[in-house]
Amino acid sequence: MTESYSYEIYLLGLLDPSPAGRSRFVEAMEHLTGRPSADFEGAFPRADEPVFKGLSREKAQTMADALGESGIFIEVRPRHLSPEEALEAAAEEPAPTSLICPSCDFEQAPGAVECERCGLVFAKHEREQVLHMQRESALEEALTKALQVREEWVQRAKQYLERYPFPAEGALGFDRILVRDEVPFLRLVSDEGPILMTSRRMIAEREEVFHSIPFEMIGDVDLGGGMVPKKGRVRLLLTFHTPLPLMTGEVVKSMTWQLDKESSFFKDVIMDWSFSRNFICAGCGERELEYRTDDKKVRIRCMHCATDHEVDLREAIAVPIIKDVEV
């Protein structure tokens, strides 16, 4: 049975843009294309031009799996074959001998419309596979968008550091819990312990315990209001979208600090970062998110496409919870 579609693969980006991730990309492309590694060590392929095209469904799936395992974000696009192209493809195919059902592996006569054993309709199965591949490529596109937004905030933190240099000892004590590509740019001092603001989150230390607060978790900021118990101190109150699990096992709806006078001068910075960041749904790229805390785990649901995510507080990312559903 000749397929009515051919498939093209576009490269969108890398999960790990570091030299190590780039090296994995070069090795994968060298293996899959047979071309020398030098062809892929320069500029990344354009996202609007297919790197692989004219593929069968099986070949496209194999290529997509290999590229995904190498940390490469891709998009698989089906292209409907014209009658002439379908005839040409059929002419290039070897004479059919038998047909194997992809569901039950039953061998039957070539040209069968449905499986004689399990009743699978082959044309319908092919359409479902196309839709499945399109859904997966949509997830990859949304994740690529989320990574681009994260990079924008890294650049914003670096721009802040150009105007206000970070002291050499600014991250002292926080070094061991900083994650890859996280840029610290401001340290606040409070009676409860130091607070480090980074390109991803606020890290607060209290009694030698670190608490990770992604900026996206902050629903409201009250800085300077209410009773201030000590002279020369300014209250900072953060209220979260949903109760936040702490490293101590507690789950809190808000946290309060008494900042020293110098730290209070950064009020605009605190407000700006707290209210300007938003997680992006990895299913559709939208920001209509509803927060909740289940069993001391923070989860969010996209109100646009109903994709559920679990929030990794340390990495400050929303990880989609992928469920296999019938198309």
Q: Which residues of the chain have pLDDT under 50?
A: 1-2, 324-327
Give the pTM. 0.59
pLDDT at 325: 40
pLDDT at 4: 67
CA distance 170 to 162: 15
pLDDT at 111: 67
DSSP at 296 = T
CA distance 199 to 22: 23
141 SS3 class: helix
Residue labelled with tokens 């490469």: 72
Q: Which fold has domain 5-150?
A: Ribosomal Protein L30; Chain: A, (3.30.1390)
pLDDT at 327: 33
**Domain residue ranges of the chain, discontinuous segments joined by +:** 5-150, 151-276
pLDDT at 326: 40
- Class of the domain covering 151-276: mainly beta
pLDDT at 1: 44
Please state the φ and ψ torsions of residue 47, each to the nearest 5 degrees. Answer: -75, -15
